[in-house]
Structure 1
């Protein structure tokens, strides 16, 4: 009986040791796979991280002027994505306008607000543009409002816009320094822009 108990203990110890060894090997393989995946992601630079060059675009403003992002190099850029039906966008716009009036010129800053026009809830393209104009006029906005009218929302997709408002802060060398998801007030905007250079 004592021999059987001793033998059982030895068998259990061997089973535990084998189980531990197998688990360690599986964990090591997973670690290698994860590390390789992370390395590939870094090499591909997926996303719009700090220090990345933002995707370039040319869009037409409500005033009919073409604006190309890369041509703004030399200025700090506040690149804001929004829609007229978005309550946080409505709350943020007066702050953007106040910043634009008080600081933009002396701080060498350009605000460009990209309306994701294809996301507007109106039925026709003309009605969507009318909604954006009405919005601009009701908030007395004087900074450029660009229209992303592509039904495929290619600019929104390129900038990975999942929530609005989303704002990218771009330094005067043309590199993204910060992305903010959600509305900002004047103080936040001033603090973030001052930190760009």
Structure 2
């Protein structure tokens, strides 16, 4: 009886290890993303040149992120949810860009989680952050107020904000590292 239990435990560990390795391998891949849309007047949302609404949100670690505190920096303000396929495609690119450029560029990525839209709750968000090794600030929009203020209808949605604190672009859909770098470099 004990040998059977030990055998099952070993089999479960082997299968579990294989699954973890397959998921890790797929997470490490950052395929180029060809489909993104720089929003125009036809897409609802805040307009180019507008000053975005200020907000103050808290991360899972309890850190407070206030948008107005970032004035003077280039800001990539991203809205996402853990179940969102395009968000899963985009996040490895954002993390790679952030890791390479945070220290040498005057840029901050703020990835607002649309917590009211989460299907797996906070636990799903935590697993997503851990799985992708995200290190940029991730404030939680627990009441959906910021989502409403920014008129986020499709995720991921990203606002590129210049050092003057105004919106330069709104991107609907996922971006790859190359496009992200290009857009940040064009911010003033």
TM-score (norm 2): 0.75
1:132 is matched with 125
Q: Using CA pairs below 8 Å that are at least 6 residues apart, which structure has the higher relative contact order?
A: 2
2:55 is matched with 57
Deviation of 1:107 (Å): 1.2
Structure 1: segments with no counterpart, 5+ residues: 1-45, 123-127
Candidates 148, 151, 157, aligned match of 1:160: 151
**Number of aligned residue pairs:** 145
Structure 2: segments with no counterpart, 5+ residues: 1-43
2:187 is matched with 196
2:173 is matched with 182
1:68 maps to 2:66: yes
TM-score (norm 1): 0.72
2:139 is matched with 146
Runs of 4+ in 1 over 6 A off after TM superposition: none
CA RMSD of aligned residues (A): 1.1
Give secondary structure in 2 for the equivalent of 1:93.
Answer: helix
2:96 is matched with 98
